[in-house]
Structure 1
Amino acid sequence: MTAPSPTEPDLSAPELSAQDLSELIACPQCDAVYRAVQPAPRARAVCARCHTVLIAPQRQAGQRLIAVALTVVVLICAATLTPFLEVEAGGMSNATSVLDAALAFAGRPLLLVLTLAVAALIVFVPVLRALLILYVLTPIVFDRPPARHARAAFRLSETLRPWSMAEVFAIGCAVALVKISDLAHVAFGPAFWMFSALVILIVVQDTFMCRYSVWRSLDR
C-alpha cells in the first residue's frame, strides 16, 4: 500500500522556525522538499515528482535490522577464512579464500593501494557498516537513550553505503566463473554460498531500513 506523498510546504515565507524546519523532509533523488506526514502502518510516503520512497515505517523493523546486521558480520568474517572456490585444470587444483583474493597483489609495492582498496570494499566496509547499524539501533530498540555520537555513526554508515561492495564482488565472481567453466573445473566453497546469502541480506536490509524513522528516533 502506498500513501500519498508528504504535503509540500509553503517556502515563500521569509523565515521558518526551528519547529517548521524539523518537520520538513527532502527527497534524496530530486531534492523536492515536503512537510513530513507519518503514513499509516504498512503504507509508504513517496515523492510526487520522482516516486522515491521517503518514509516507509514497519513494525519491529529495528529488531530485524539488528538480526540482519549480526548475520552480515558473522557471514563476512567466516567467508574471509573459508575457501571461496577451487579451480582444477590439467591435473592441478588450487583453492582460494576471499582474503587471499584481496591480498593477491600485496607482494607488489606499486599495487599495495589496490590491495587495500579491494580488502576494504569487500570486507572491512561492509563489516563496519553493520557494526555502526548495531551501535545506532540497539539502544533505540531497547527503549534507551541513543548512544554517544549515534547521529555521526549513522551518518557515516549512510556515507559508506555506496562503497560496501561485498555483494558486487559475489555477483562479479559468479559471472567470471561461468565464463571460465569451459576451461577448468570450478567447485564452489562455503564462502561462495555465504556471499550469495549476503546478497539477499543486503536487499532485506534496504527493505527494512526507514532512514526517516531512524533520524526521528535519534532526534527524540
Structure 2
Amino acid sequence: MVGNGDLTGFPTGASFEGDLADLIACPSCDLVYSIPDVTSHERAVCARCHTILISPRRKAGKQLIALSVTVLILIVAACAFPFLSIGAAGLHHDASILQTALAFSGSLSLLSLAVLFFIVVIPVIRLSLLIYVLAPIIRDRPPAPLARQAFALSEALVPWSMAEIFAIGCAVALVKLSDMADVVYGPAAWIFAVLVVLVVATDRLMCRYSIWKSLEN
C-alpha cells in the first residue's frame, strides 16, 4: 500500500516483460511488485505480510548519521562506566561490560568475548559502515569506494547485532539476582538503555530502498 493506493503484485509463476529495475521484492515473503512513486512521508507496504518496502523521508540521511554517531559515543561510554554494582554480606563490587568480558578464563572467556563481540563490536562495525555509506550521499557526491559492498555488509550484520537482546537478558537476570544481593544499576546500564532505543530508532528511520537507489546513481 502506498498512501491510500495499492501496490501491484505479480502472482507466482507470472512473467514480466520489462526492466527488472522497475521491480521490488518483499524481503519477508518474496512477493514481487512494480515500484510505485512514493513521496516523502508516504510508505509502500507489502499487501501480503505488511512489511514496509519503501519509506522515504526528507533529511533522513543526516538524521541517520547523527543517530549513528550518538550510538557510537554511547557504546564507548557504556564500556567505560560501571554497568552495575552488587553488594552482599558486606562485600561490594562494581563491574563494567569490558571488565566482565575479561574477568573469566577457560571456556567462559570465549563465551564472554562472544557476548562482547555481539553487543559492542558488531554494532560499532555496522554503524561505522552506515556512516561511511551515507556521508557522501547527504553531500550530493558520488558514492564512496565499495559503498555497495559496505552497505550490504552492514545489512548482513543486522541479525548479529544483539544489543537489545542483551538488555532484555540483563533485566531478567538482575530481577532474579536482586533477591540474593543488593543490585544497583550503574551509569552504563542507563546509557545502554538509551542506546538500545536509538538503535531501534535508527532501524525504523532507515529506508533501505532509497539508500540502494542512491548508491546506484
- Name the TM-score class by shorter chain: over 0.9
**Partner residue in 2 for 1:74:** 73
User: What RMSD, in angstroms, separates the aligned Cα atoms of the two structures?
Assistant: 1.8
AA matched with 2:37: Q
Tell me what 2:177 maps to: 180
Q: What 5-or-longer segments of structure 1 have no aligned partner?
A: none
Going from structure 1 to structure 2, the CA distance change for 1:174 and 1:35 (only over 3 Å counts) comes to same
Give 2:190's aligned residue. 193
- Structure 2 unaligned spans of 5+: none
How far has the Cα of 1:171 moved from its partner? 2.0
SS in 1 for 2:209: helix
Identify the range of structure 1 (90-99 vs 162-171) with the bigger mean alpha-carbon deviation: 162-171
- Alpha-carbon contact 2:74-2:195 (below 8 Å) kept: yes
Task: Give the 3-state SS of the residue equivalent to 2:38 in structure 1.
Answer: coil
**1:153 pairs with 140, 150, 162, which one?**
150
Q: What is the total number of aligned residue pairs between the two structures?
A: 215
1:23-57 CA-partner distances (Å, limit 9, x unpaired): 11100010001111132321110111111110011
TM-score, with length taken from structure 2: 0.92
In structure 2, what residue type is equivalent to 1:89?
A
The structure 1 segments of at least 4 consecutive aligned residues displaced by more than 4 Å after TM superposition are: 9-13
Query: TM-score, structure 1 length as denominator?
Result: 0.91
CA positional deviation for 1:116: 3.0
1:7 maps to 2:4: no
User: Aligned with 2:53: secondary structure?
Assistant: strand
Shift of 1:5: 4.0
| Deviation at residue 189 of structure 1 after TM alignment | 0.8
SS at match of 1:186: strand
Counterparts of 2:10 and 2:36, CA distance in 1: 11
User: Partner of 1:173: helix, strand, or coil?
Assistant: helix
Q: Which amino acid aligns with 2:214?
A: S
CA contact (8 A) 2:126 2:157 kept: yes
SS of the residue corresponding to residue 83 of structure 1 reads coil
Which residue number corresponds to residue 40 of structure 2? 41
Residue of structure 1 in register with 2:51 after alignment: 52
| Structure 1 contact 136–146 (Cα < 8 Å) conserved | yes
- Rounded to whole Å, the distance in 1 between the matches of 2:159 and 2:100 is 21
- Cα distance between partner residues in 1 of 2:142 and 2:80: 37
Give CA deviations for 1:166-211 in whole Å, capped at 9, x if unaligned: 2221221122111221221111111101100011101210121000
In the alignment, structure 1 residue 164 sits paired with structure 2 residue 161: yes
Q: Tell me if structure 2 keeps the 8 A contact 1:103–1:119.
A: no
Q: In the aligned structure 2, how far is the partner of 1:70 from the partner of 1:135?
A: 11
CA distance in 2, matches of 1:104, 1:173: 17
Structure 1's 179 and 155: CA in aligned 2 closer, same or farther, altered over 3 A?
same
- Mapped partners of 1:5, 1:56: distance in 2: 15
SS of corresponding position for 1:34: strand
Q: How much identity, in percent, do the aligned residues show?
A: 54
Structure 1 residues 52 and 81, CA gap change in structure 2 (3 angstroms): same
Rounded to whole Å, the distance in 1 between the matches of 2:142 and 2:7 is 28
Give the counterpart letter for 1:76 in structure 2. I
Distance 1:5 1:162 in 2: 30
Distance 2:212 2:145 in 1: 14
2:200 pairs, out of 183, 199, 203, with 203
